[in-house]
Structure 1
């Protein structure tokens, strides 16, 4: 009686509905230990596309964008050349796939050592010391005695692995020489089968039931297609005459002929006593049922339906962005928490084999999201603006040396691939640090410039700069191309010195505090926003409006350092003509490239309006 009372207290029971009793249908459901043999795993992978995609997709996504090394350019090139020589990316992808499929795989780090049973000494690997990489599965590697020393680096892992070779020969391999991929985590070693000892489990173990349900549903729907339309003919006395061979043969010949006639001209000829009807099967709800099973598979595999099935998101306002972002976060976690620690010794050997021993060298996993051209342009602009801010000055001192920012920016742009050919251009023209004049050259140039001035204007020191009004401009180098366009559009009195004004400060400023432009030569590519507009009284100045981040940034920088600007906003433009009668609404703006020369600093001439120039 006490046991009965205990049972009543420990669980909810209802005798009316049989809930919680021996006759409760839910009480018959329980979890059993899933057992999958290697033959079943291989058959599922080969015979069905869902298991193959569940195994392959996360492994492929974790390797397809690979990683970006953060180091000096020669170091990056050396490491990447070594990765290519050894096919590191391909070997890791293969091992990751096989690890997920079988529950265990490894990449053997071949350094040519005499005894692979000894621990790998990474510091002994020299340039070219990494000889080969070999992928092995748990079917080939047998775990030896498990290390139970809690102070050991290899606690819970085999002290040695045994590789079964040809002719029954075996070779002992120390775990430090293996990059291990374990597939799905095994809950406890004590519950592992002998064949899976020290390894993980196949990712198909927990997903195979969902896969089979989805495959079975798809198969049943496929068989229903053959019964989509059924013809029914009612024949008088049909059942009574079954058994008469002559009758049966006559019936078969009769309706074979009827079907032939129907197939030829679409007409079915029947006796007046026969009845005919056709029934069509409805498939309206089958797609929803199948997709429900596919969603269960997607959840079991932790792969979005859009990625698993390769289909566009469905439903109102559905983009699939959040699903893919969560999935990419999961892949990034797998890269950082599983793959990177497993590959630690391999990466150390790879760097040393490439001749790189710098401890500051590291890598980051490349993002999986594919950026649009607009996003690339925005990132490029943000990066360039940040670089300009870093080389700005505070109280006349640079925040970060321009050379350092330049080298880091070049590495970033090369890795992002936003400026094709930048590597080759840097090799041809050199880095900023290689083009900068030395202190001796700067001193000599300043002394020569001082000697060329009239005696009254010579400075006693290079940093002695009296505030003056400031007019900054860039002249158009490819003037011929723009003049040709202007003449074709009907302009007659074209400004001889085409230029872009950057600053016009009547407030005196220290010219040397204004800094200098990032580039001495600026090319604005063809296309982009261009517009014709008139400036001044009655639109006297006919100008081509353009835009360039460099011009806007320099104008803003000069104003922030004390220069004045008397207009509401700054709009880069090139004045084409002063005066004249031309309808700008009929002018097609110039769409070609614009090449601007270096910045020219001048004092403001208040009588500039007497001339032709702006």
Structure 2
């Protein structure tokens, strides 16, 4: 049988009998992936005793809530909502839950509304002024998922229909999912494949701990080499033959202890004529590159740029690390929209009702940008928008491209939302928009005269 025929007979995988690729003698043929779930004790030890696992858990959780969000509503409503968030420490509770979810694989925030029956669904219409009393963070080690909802017509299909909480010496308490803000760690593909923690995800350290250990081990080995950076070698005639004499051993130790004491940069080492002395030094020239590669692997495993994870300056000519950080913040922004926002939807509904006493459909929020612009960049953006609006408004020789009132309202909304002109919203409420004002033709003529051709 030819090599080609043999390859076709075993399948479509690459096979080479000469190089042993794809055969039983291929060293890589026995490689495989085995799922070994990390115990909680190891997760806790890694988080509490090593800085790198702790940063991998903490940094994305902190960055995702650092800038927080901007509420869009009337000024009194925004003040009430922000005061309610401060009273309940919403930002701190979300950070705590996000951190614990990344470490343990899952966490939840229980919405405390004072209802006696926690197993019943939460009725948002019953949450009135100051109706949200407290928020409690629970990890998957404190609250367990119950039976999975198998009704395909249910909104909770594929998720737990109930959660169980054991509070001290009391009996088990059932909590309805609508009363919980659920955060998962690393997503699991399917609970049918040996998921020992139903209803939750994996710890983010589950898939990154090997890379973390390799980076830590490399750094530890380099640190131990520092103690072996310079070794003094002295050749003594008849050394092994005389070791049997205890008196010789004592004199030898005393002699070289004295020699080591006298030796130094400004000292003198005195040796017998027949003794030979030399110094051997270890080279560290390539070790930084080796450590850097393992740090890059750990950074890639954690999906956190090295500039953020290690505080390391970007390498290379003209490198700023800006593109890496932008990609990282873009990913966190997507996480806020796709994961955090839906998970916090009921919490937000409760906050709005608890702060204002009702639900105004116009109230909403946007996540604040994670990538902050410098003052110069903000000024450039403002000038660009103003120039674009001026072009749309037309000049003395060209007609406007859209109604001036519509352009004015759109421009005001833009400057209010991006915060270019602080206090603009309050000023517009006091003086009114251009479309609401009666414009005197003489004022327009005077303004055109001042502006010139």
| CA pair 396-513 structure 1, distance change in 2 beyond 3 A | farther
Offset at residue 124 of structure 1 (A): 1.7
| CA pair 376-398 structure 1, distance change in 2 beyond 3 A | closer
User: 1:544 maps to which residue?
Assistant: none
- Please give the alpha-carbon distance, in whole angstroms, between the structure 2 residues aligned to 1:57 and 1:203: 12
Contact 1:391 1:399 in 2 (8 A): no
The 5 A counterparts of 1:180-195 are 180-194=182-196
Instruction: Give unpaired runs (5+ residues) of structure 2.
Output: none
Does residue 514 (structure 1) correspond to residue 445 (structure 2)? The answer is yes
User: 2:60 maps to which residue?
Assistant: 58
- Please give the alpha-carbon distance, in whole angstroms, between the structure 1 residues aligned to 2:157 and 2:108: 18
**What is the TM-score when the length of structure 2 is the normalising length?**
0.90
- Please give the alpha-carbon distance, in whole angstroms, between the structure 2 residues aligned to 1:19 and 1:437: 79
Secondary structure class of the residue paired with 2:192: helix
Secondary structure class of the residue paired with 2:323: helix
| CA pair 396-235 structure 1, distance change in 2 beyond 3 A | closer
Secondary structure class of the residue paired with 1:282: coil
| CA pair 516-116 structure 1, distance change in 2 beyond 3 A | farther
- Please give the alpha-carbon distance, in whole angstroms, between the structure 1 residues aligned to 2:403 and 2:411: 17
User: 1:219 maps to which residue?
Assistant: 220
The 5 A counterparts of 1:192-211 are 192-194=194-196, 196-211=197-212
Secondary structure class of the residue paired with 2:251: helix
User: 1:84 maps to which residue?
Assistant: 86
User: 2:374 maps to which residue?
Assistant: 372
User: 1:400 maps to which residue?
Assistant: 406
- Please give the alpha-carbon distance, in whole angstroms, between the structure 2 residues aligned to 1:267 and 1:178: 75
The 5 A counterparts of 1:226-375 are 226-263=227-264, 265-355=266-356, 357-375=359-377
**Larger RCO (CA under 8 A, 6+ residues apart):** 2
Equivalent of 1:176 in 178, 181, 187: 178
User: 1:580 maps to which residue?
Assistant: none
Offset at residue 434 of structure 1 (A): 9.7
Offset at residue 377 of structure 1 (A): 1.7
Cα deviations across residues 104-159 of structure 1 (Å, max 9, x unaligned)? 00111111112111111112211211111111000011111111001001111111
Offset at residue 411 of structure 1 (A): 3.5
- Please give the alpha-carbon distance, in whole angstroms, between the structure 2 residues aligned to 1:23 and 1:426: 77
| CA pair 285-359 structure 1, distance change in 2 beyond 3 A | same
The 5 A counterparts of 1:374-453 are 374-384=376-386, 398-400=404-406, 408=413, 411-412=416-417, 415=419, 419=422, 422=423, 426=426, 431-433=430-432
Contact 1:101 1:202 in 2 (8 A): yes
- Please give the alpha-carbon distance, in whole angstroms, between the structure 2 residues aligned to 1:256 and 1:397: 94
Contact 1:406 1:432 in 2 (8 A): no
Which one is further off, 357-366 or 266-275?
A: 357-366
Rg (Cα) greater in structure? 1
| CA pair 370-394 structure 1, distance change in 2 beyond 3 A | closer
Does residue 29 (structure 1) correspond to residue 31 (structure 2)? The answer is yes
- Please give the alpha-carbon distance, in whole angstroms, between the structure 1 residues aligned to 2:141 and 2:389: 53
- Please give the alpha-carbon distance, in whole angstroms, between the structure 2 residues aligned to 1:514 and 1:389: 19
Contact 1:41 1:204 in 2 (8 A): yes
Offset at residue 289 of structure 1 (A): 0.3
